[in-house]
A and B are shown apart, each in its own frame.
Chain A
Amino acid sequence: MGKSFIRELFQAQQIDISNREQLFEAFVQEEENLHRVKQILENQQFLMDRWQLKSRLADIQQQTVVIPNATMGKIYEARLDFQQLNWTDFTTFTITGLDAVGLQFDSATSVISGTPTQNGDWRIKLSYRLQGESEETPLHEKLVPLIINPDPRSLWKNISSDSTAPFWREDNVATSAVLGDKRLVVASRRGRSHANTGGFRDDDFAFRHFPDTGWTVLAVSDGAGSAPLAREGARMACAHIVAYFEQHFTNAALAPFDTLLAEHAANPSEKTEKQLTRFVYDQLGKAAFTTHKKIAEFAHSQQVPVKDFHATLIFALLKKYPCGYVIMSFGVGDCPIGLLNKDLSAITLMNRLDVGEFGGGTRFITMPEIFKSDTFATRFGFKLVPDFSYLMLMTDGIYDPKFEVEANLEKVSAWKALLADLGGDNKENAIVELDTYPPAVAQQLSDWMDFWSPGNHDDRTLMIIS
């Protein structure tokens, strides 16, 4: 070993030993010289090992270590796969910085787990030692990013709307009432997107039961997000509808209708059907147009464009006759009126929704063109049913998260799912006791309506007659 090393050394240095073989043999036997060779070899090995270690450490420092992002308050678990990370040469390994954010590292399983308590872009410190390093070697350190997302819910601010602003509306309202032999519960909540900026609730509703005639009028409106005074548009739309029927649906005025209905119930024909349709078209059409005119006049008196009051409108009239319940309806915009039959086996959509090909293709009661359009006649609904289980009026704040698309409104299964949801089949365990109808039912509905649905933070209004 020593001999060949020295020979190669001399050769490399072009030291000629060809005529001094004997002397060279003696030279390579000398203890001192062999010792020097051994030292050189050891030093070489030392340098190589040291280089390899440094190079390995540099690799580790440069290595991208991806730790999945965590979310505040959400149970987290991520395993560090030492095989895959190529860290099988680690002898000691610890992580610091996890405690501060509510996480722990289990070295037996290599799992980071816990429920994060602090959001932010953190850097956690990995400390390690490699094979071949002595116990006294200080630990090496590597910083690795760990992102903890905020809980999306915590990002939504709840700023009260300015109660001194013109046309201010209370952020959340709910009420219940008895309408003859049916019961009503309704709630309207300001959406998170409005609450986040201190905006107003643009949804509204109104209803009135007239004991003299037995009629009930129900109205729900959704002010357009882009209209600055939509809240007042929605309020006026509902209020004018109620006022219209209060004035016009008198017993005297309805005597011909009552006769017609009795005739239709006893002997339904194409003729009576047509006459009823005509009545609905005339009466509800006039009510809608009167409402439109009143809002337009008000806008004019305030010297603001009527589009500033843009609002959708759905309304229904309900009365119990000996032959059954009469329900008439009108709708403009994208809010549905659904009528569920007694045994929950069929759903009747009382109105056609204005849903454009592109989002925002809706129509408003404040648009004069809707009254001239040849589709105006399709906005009305009429039903005579022996009984029903639920009549519901809702804004898109409910319809979007609960039905998603128009096609689902036609499915009785989707309505049954909504009823189950109202009955407590939801993550929040919110229950609306529609069957027992306790005094707190309005508050229950309002609480239920605070449900969490990502991407759906519009104002929500739901009116249920059962």
Chain B
Amino acid sequence: MRRLPVYLLLDTSGSMSGEPIEAVKNGVQVMISSLRQNPQAIETAFISVITFDSTARQAVPLTDLSSFQVPDIRASGTTAMGEALQLLASCIDREVAQTTTERKGDWKPLVFIMTDGIPTDNWQSGLAAYKQRKTAYTVACAAGNGADSAVLKQVTNNVVRLDTADSHSISKFFAWVTASIGVSSTKIEHSGKELAGLDELPPPPAELNIVV
């Protein structure tokens, strides 16, 4: 079966502590519960969570929705986004099956990045590694004033901004991510095609501004 891999890259630096990190955890929880009710998503979507603060780690390897358990996420340290992109690249290499003449590989992965700050590491090499991997689309979310959407624009064209990183805005972001994964899994099931960009995703809520 062709899986639809979804990578969530979540900023867990110190500035996220308190309300934002709780909102992120809750957002992931609600997202998983809701996707489990979607017949296409529960069969095809596989989710991985990569968190990054002073270092990056894969908190949950690529896991099917039925088995997925929300990881315990805590906020501390700086913002090693470059390391997270590097890790994403190696996870894609390891976890996403390529199509061969003998078997159909997985669908191209969807990537959602959320950060409230700017990278504190030397992130260009991570960016270069990420750029060499194929994704169906990558959406980056700049949460609050501390995030620099110009930095995220170097990662992907699809950048959205939350004016404040409060629990209401963050929950809206995750609701939209949920809808986007749902639409993507339905689309590949229905027409055998992957989505390519923001314009094919559900319209974002009012809290989410598209950065052009």
Contact = CB atoms under 8 A, between A and B. Distances in A.
Contacts of A360: 191-193
B1 A455 contact: yes
B155 to A, nearest CB: 23
A359 B192 contact: yes
Nearest to A199: B190
A132 interface: no
A404 B104 contact: yes
A322 interface: no
Interface stretch (A91-99, A147-155, A160-168): A147-155
A341 interface: no
Contact of B67 (A69, A152, A455): A69
Interface of B is mostly: loop
Given A69-B66, A155-B37, A225 B192 contact: yes
Interface in A46-71: 64, 66, 68-69, 71
B132 interface: no
A113 interface: no
A68 B37 CA distance: 18
B199 interface: no
A403 to B, nearest CB: 10
Interface string B138-156: 0000000000000000000
A150 B192 contact: no
Contact of B101 (A156, A405, A453): A405
B2 interface: yes
Contacts of A303: none
A196 interface: yes
Contact of A225 (B33, B67, B191): B191
A152 B43 contact: yes
Contacts of A405: 101-104
A456 B192 CA distance: 10
A121 B31 CA distance: 12
Nearest to B186: A193
B42 to A, nearest CB: 5
A192 B104 CA distance: 21
Interface string B31-44: 00100111110111
A457 interface: yes
A26 to B, nearest CB: 60
Contacts of B53: none
Interface residues of B, number: 29
B69 interface: yes
Nearest to B70: A145
A19 B42 CA distance: 85
Interface string B1-40: 1100000000000000000000000000000010011111
B121 interface: no
A407 interface: yes
A407 B101 contact: yes
A69 B70 CA distance: 11
Contacts of A138: none
Nearest to B99: A405
Given A71-B66, A225-B192, A150 B104 contact: no
A156 B186 CA distance: 12
A455 B44 contact: yes
Nearest to B68: A69
A211 interface: no
A359 B194 contact: yes
A160 B76 CA distance: 53
Q: Which 5 A-B pairs have the closest CB atoms?
A: A155-B39, A225-B191, A359-B192, A360-B193, A455-B1
Interface of A: 64, 66, 68-69, 71, 121, 147, 149-150, 152, 155-156, 192-193, 196, 224-226, 359-360, 404-407, 453-458
Given A359-B193, A407-B101, A455-B2, 5 more contacts: A152-B43, A155-B38, A225-B190, A453-B1, A457-B40
14 contacts: A69-B66, A69-B68, A149-B65, A150-B37, A155-B38, A155-B42, A193-B189, A404-B103, A405-B101, A405-B103, A405-B104, A454-B44, A455-B44, A457-B40
